[in-house]
């Protein structure tokens, strides 16, 4: 199975680039499934039903979230009826929606997409490791799922790496999101799980993690808010990760970063 994952989509320029490029990339790379982290898609804060529909219409198969999941209040309603929109699995009991979803793709194969959120320098949530363990045990790789992807939304690289090793040999791919900067550690772990600490964001990199520079710089200088954060609107770089799995085992045989457009140097899987 060929999986393409895109990191946090920040604002309109990133959405437009994603919608334009996903159909082309699916054809060019023979992609079976596309997963996108969409928690910053609505002007940098949350996601709406309209944005979800736009992404799904372009060929995105699942959208994961994170700490901005509920910034747009309509997401609380939409997520209850849209199984392809997935929030962190370790949110408290009773939170709307689901933290994992088993999706059947066009080939008839099934991929389990799990979204979890870290606790280091983040909100105090339930233990993400036990929450992910529960989902893996309920839908094992090679038995109930042909592939398993874990989007671990977290601040600390150490916590993300720990999740990768915790899942090694039991899932196809663990990828970090949230820090909005692509890391250079794409690898296949000893047990056969593909891993990258952070996929990076899809957005304008002439910015402070996707936001127009002036306000965040001013806050660092003065500790005073003088306005709202607004997404940068320049050309977006799409940052993602390409993973190919063994169709018999579900484990990874290949991982390569993908960067396209905007300010960062482009790189494309061969």
- Model confidence over 51-73: pLDDT tens digits? 999 999 999 999 999 999 999 99
266 belongs to a structural domain: no
Whether the predicted pLDDT of 175 surpasses 90: yes
- Tell me the average pLDDT of the chain: 96
Chain segment 128-171, per-residue pLDDT in tens: 999 999 999 999 999 999 999 999 999 999 999 999 999 999 99
* List 68, 78, 178, 180, catalytic entry: 68
Q: For position 6, which CATH number holds?
A: 3.60.21.10
Q: How high is the pLDDT of residue 178?
A: 97
Tell me how many domains the chain contains. 1
Q: Give the CA count within 13 Å in the CB-facing half-sphere of 9.
A: 30
Q: Please indicate, yes or no, if residue 117 is contained in any of the structural domains.
A: yes
Is 94 a domain residue? yes
pLDDT of 181 above 90:
yes
Question: In which domain, by residue range, is 184 found?
Answer: 2-260
Catalytic residue status for 180: no
Cβ atoms of 114 and 108 within 8 Å: the answer is no
Structure tokens at 214: 């002036």
Task: Read off the pLDDT band of 231 (50, 70, 90).
Answer: very high
Predicted pLDDT of residue 193? 98
Cβ neighbours around 52 below 10 Å, total:
20
Q: Count other Cβ atoms within 10 Å, centred on residue 67.
A: 18
Confidence of residue 270 (pLDDT cuts 50, 70, 90): confident
Does any domain span residue 195?
yes
């Amino acid at each position: 199975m060929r999986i393409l994952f895109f990191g946090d989509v920040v604002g309109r320029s990133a959405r437009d680039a994603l919608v334009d490029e996903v159909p082309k990339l699916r054809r060019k790379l023979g992609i079976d499934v596309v997963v996108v982290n969409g928690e910053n898609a609505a002007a940098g804060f949350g996601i709406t039903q309209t944005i979800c529909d736009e992404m799904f219409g372009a060929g995105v198969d699942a959208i994961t979230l994170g700490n901005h999941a509920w910034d747009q209040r309509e997401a609380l309603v939409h997520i209850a009826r849209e199984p392809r929109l997935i929030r962190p699995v370790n949110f408290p009991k009773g939170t709307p929606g689901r933290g994992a979803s088993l999706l059947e793709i066009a080939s008839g194969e099934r991929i389990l997409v799990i979204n979890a959120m870290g606790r280091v320098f983040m909100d105090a949530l339930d233990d993400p490791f036990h929450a992910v363990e529960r989902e893996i045990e309920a839908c094992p790789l090679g038995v109930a799922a042909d592939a398993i992807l874990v989007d671990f939304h977290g601040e600390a690289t150490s916590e993300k790496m720990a999740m990768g090793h915790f899942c090694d040999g039991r899932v196809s791919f663990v990828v970090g999101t949230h820090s909005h900067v692509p890391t250079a550690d794409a690898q296949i772990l000893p047990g056969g799980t593909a891993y990258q600490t952070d996929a990076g964001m899809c957005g304008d990199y002439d910015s402070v993690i996707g936001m127009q520079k002036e306000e965040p710089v001013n806050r660092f200088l003065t500790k005073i808010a003088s306005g709202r954060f607004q997404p940068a609107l320049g050309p977006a770089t799409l940052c993602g990760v390409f993973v190919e799995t063994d169709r018999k085992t579900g484990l990874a045989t290949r991982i390569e970063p993908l960067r396209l457009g905007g300010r960062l140097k482009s790189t494309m899987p061969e």
